[in-house]
Amino acid sequence: MPLTTYRVLEYIDTWAVDVSDSLDKAGVKNEVLVWPRVESVSMKCFDWSRKQYLAPCILSQLHSIFQKFISKGRYVVALGYLDGYDYGLNFVFGEANPSLSIAVVFTKRLDPLTYGLSRDYNLYVERVSKEIVHELGHLLGLGHCSLRECVMSFSNSVPEVDMKTRFFCSKCVGRLKALNI
């Protein structure tokens, strides 16, 4: 579900394929649909002093738009070329609220362009795919995983994102099976 046109719409079909592939490899039956509209984020969620969006504010705004589409086994992951934070944290790459079945991924800090590096399509797309699968894992009921290469490992920096893969480790696959989604 796109929150911005810039650096999101052009890649969103690739992310849909990647996410579905990660879920398939974990044995989770799925259908990934791309929301056909860009939903803009309320400026009420923007902190002008930090120049960042407050993640829980976005999640509750999206909940009011999407609650009629959400049912058991249906989840919404919003993607925006934005910078997000939550209380007590300098920034977050994403945030999930399993009780609302909604998550958001902030892609700006995952883009090499943000750090003055050259454009790298594959790196940006791959990082965002990992964070989408990670937040979706939370929505499905998984917590963080201690295996560095597992998509459910916690990332607090871009190098940590680069260390993980977009796949669930065998332990997390087992946990997903036990959750019986």
Among 152, 164, 166, 167, binds Zn ion (CB under 5 A): 152
Q: What angle do CA 147, 177, 35 make, to 5 degrees?
A: 85
- 142 belongs to the binding site for Zn ion (CB under 5 A): no
The yes or no reply on residue 169 touching Zn ion (CB under 5 A) is yes
CA distance 139 to 117: 32
Closest by alpha carbon to 139, among 169, 108, 94, 171?
94
What Rg value do the Cα atoms of the chain yield, rounded?
Answer: 15
Q: Which of residues 2-31 bind Zn ion (CB under 5 A)?
A: none
Angle, CA of 80, 97 and 115, to the nearest 5°: 35
Pick between residue 10 and residue 160 the one whose CB is nearest to Zn ion. 160
CA pair distance 100, 181, nearest whole angstrom: 16
- The Cβ of residue 127 has, within 10 Å, a number of other Cβ atoms equal to 24
Question: Which is nearer to Zn ion, 44 or 148 (by Cβ)?
Answer: 148
Q: Per the residue annotation, which of 131, 135, 149, 160 is the catalytic one?
A: 135
Active site residue 135: yes
104 binds Zn ion (CB under 5 A): no
Among 62, 82, 161, 172, binds Zn ion (CB under 5 A): 172
Task: Give 67 or 156: the residue with its C-beta nearer to Zn ion.
Answer: 156
Closer by beta carbon to Zn ion, 123 or else 173: 173
Q: Which residues bind Zn ion (CB under 5 A)?
A: 145, 147, 150, 152, 169, 171-172
**Catalytic residue ranges:** 135
